């Protein structure tokens, strides 16, 4: 199944400029270049760049972007440059270009990883095996726990975020965004906001490198062994923060089987897994994999109800 499509109007890259840049910086000899677009994703733009027999992935912010901090390609490139040396699922970045005259925006190029992303429809082998479903979920959670135990300072990412006061900043920041954008009344959501403000943990449970958008839509599996994660994608929101809130983000995406057809059938949801594995079971998997106490996971999960509203 082809995972790329024709480039959307208005999001075309200057192929001639890009080819010249890559010929000079990657020592490419061929004159053949093909560019297509990965249609998934709603923030940064992602392209497949094929030069002869070589395939690369190019990431750049939306054209016309004015919120630089939300689409910082240099930051993402630097994070992956260090993270990919110690964390196998992180793709290796190859080159960064801050010259916007090349393609119309800054960008970076990274290696291409190939695998299966479960969006909606799952392979029959997964649908037909409760044991495999559990093992895939365990692998998903264990991989997140492995990220959280990395020594981020040792690999040079100690200045990536400010873990002290992380939970409070998240509550106050998302509360402000909500009220700034508010157009309708949402009493249940505002009750969650009030609960969060009253229940902010008095101190961090620990600082860790967190992905901040860890879900099956950003995880690539080995199609020959679905319990093997070959890549974790979309590292734009990575920071140093509270690991249980990272788990809370994953739980916020995880619909229970009682959620109804509309939510279960959303195209990025691994429905077969959500119908057969509960949020509570994911929490228990994380507790076993990490050795951490997750008794306060309710806070992280409720916070992400607010962030998911946006």
* CATH number, domain containing residue 305: 3.90.1200.10
Residue 224, pLDDT score: 96
Residue 308, pLDDT score: 45
Confidence category of residue 1, pLDDT binned at 50, 70, 90: very low
Residue 40, pLDDT score: 67
Strand partners, 46: 59
Query: Per the domain annotation, does 68 fall within a domain?
Result: yes
Residues 74, 66 contacting (CB under 8 angstroms)? no
Q: What angle do CA 100, 2, 133 make, to 5 degrees?
A: 110
The stretch 5-31 carries a mean pLDDT of 84
Confidence category of residue 306, pLDDT binned at 50, 70, 90: very low
* CATH number, domain containing residue 105: 3.30.200.20
- pLDDT, greater one: 71 or 124: 124
Is residue 310 pLDDT above 60, yes or no? no
Give yes or no: residues 145 and 279 share one domain: yes
- The boundaries of the domain holding residue 24 are 15-111
> Rounded distance, CA 120 to CA 93, Å?
29
Residue 233, pLDDT score: 95
pLDDT > 90 fraction of the chain, expressed in percent and rounded = 57
Give yes or no: residues 201 and 93 share one domain: no
Confidence category of residue 80, pLDDT binned at 50, 70, 90: very high
Residue 153, pLDDT score: 95
Is residue 250 pLDDT above 90, yes or no? yes
Give yes or no: residues 144 and 19 share one domain: no
113 half-sphere exposure, CB direction, 13 A CA radius: 22
Give yes or no: residues 90 and 133 share one domain: no
Query: Per the domain annotation, does 1 fall within a domain?
Result: no
Residues 300, 166 contacting (CB under 8 angstroms)? no
Give yes or no: residues 134 and 250 share one domain: yes
Domain boundary among 85, 111, 137: 111
Query: Per the domain annotation, does 119 fall within a domain?
Result: no
- Mean pLDDT of all residues belonging to the chain: 88
What is the 3-state secondary structure of the chain? CCCCECCCCCCCCCHHHHHHHHHHHCCCCCCCEEEEECCCCCCCEEEEEEECCEEEEEEECCCCCCCHHHHCHHHHHHHHHHHCCCCCCCCCEEEEECCCCCCCCCEEEEECCCCECCECECCHHHHCCHHHHHHHHHHHHHHHHHHHCCCCCCCCCCCCCCCCCHHHHHHHHHHHHHHHHCCCCCHHHHHHHHHHHHCCCCCCCCCEEECCCCCHHHEEEECCEEEEEEEECCCCCCEEECHHHHHHHHHHHCCCCCCCHHHHCCCCCCHHHHHHCCHHHHHHHHHHHHCCCCCCHHHHHHHHHHHHHC
What's the structural domain count of the chain? 2
> Rounded distance, CA 66 to CA 84, Å?
29
Residue 301, pLDDT score: 53
């Amino acid at each position: 199944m082809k995972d790329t499509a024709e480039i959307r109007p208005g999001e075309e890259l200057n192929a001639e400029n890009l080819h010249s840049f890559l010929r000079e910086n990657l020592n490419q000899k061929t004159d053949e270049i093909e560019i297509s677009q990965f249609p998934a994703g709603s923030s940064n733009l992602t392209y497949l760049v094929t030069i002869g027999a070589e395939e690369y992935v190019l990431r750049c912010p939306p054209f016309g972007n004015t919120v630089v901090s939300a689409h910082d390609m240099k930051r993402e490139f630097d994070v992956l440059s260090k993270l990919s040396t110690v964390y196998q699922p992180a793709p290796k970045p190859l080159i960064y270009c801050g010259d916007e005259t090349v393609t119309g925006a800054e960008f970076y190029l990274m290696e291409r990883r190939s695998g299966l992303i479960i969006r909606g429809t799952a392979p029959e082998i997964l649908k037909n095996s409760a044991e495999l479903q559990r093992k895939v979920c365990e692998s998903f959670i264990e991989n997140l726990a492995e990220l959280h135990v990395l020594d981020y300072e040792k690999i040079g990412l100690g200045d990536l975020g400010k873990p002290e006061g992380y939970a409070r900043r998240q509550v106050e920041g998302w509360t402000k965004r909500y009220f700034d954008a508010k157009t309708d009344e949402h009493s249940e959501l505002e009750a969650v906001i009030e609960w969060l403000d009253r229940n902010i943990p008095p101190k961090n449970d620990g600082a860790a490198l967190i992905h901040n958008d860890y879900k099956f839509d950003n995880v690539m599996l080995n199609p020959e062994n679905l319990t093997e994660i070959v890549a974790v994608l979309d590292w734009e929101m990575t920071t140093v923060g509270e690991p249980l809130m990272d788990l809370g983000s994953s739980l916020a995406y995880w619909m229970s089987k009682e959620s109804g057809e509309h939510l279960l059938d959303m195209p990025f949801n691994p429905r077969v897994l959500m119908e057969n594995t509960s949020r509570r079971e994911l929490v228990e998997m994380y507790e076993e994999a990490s050795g951490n106490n997750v008794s306060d996971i309710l806070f992280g999960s409720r916070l992400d109800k607010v962030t998911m509203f946006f």
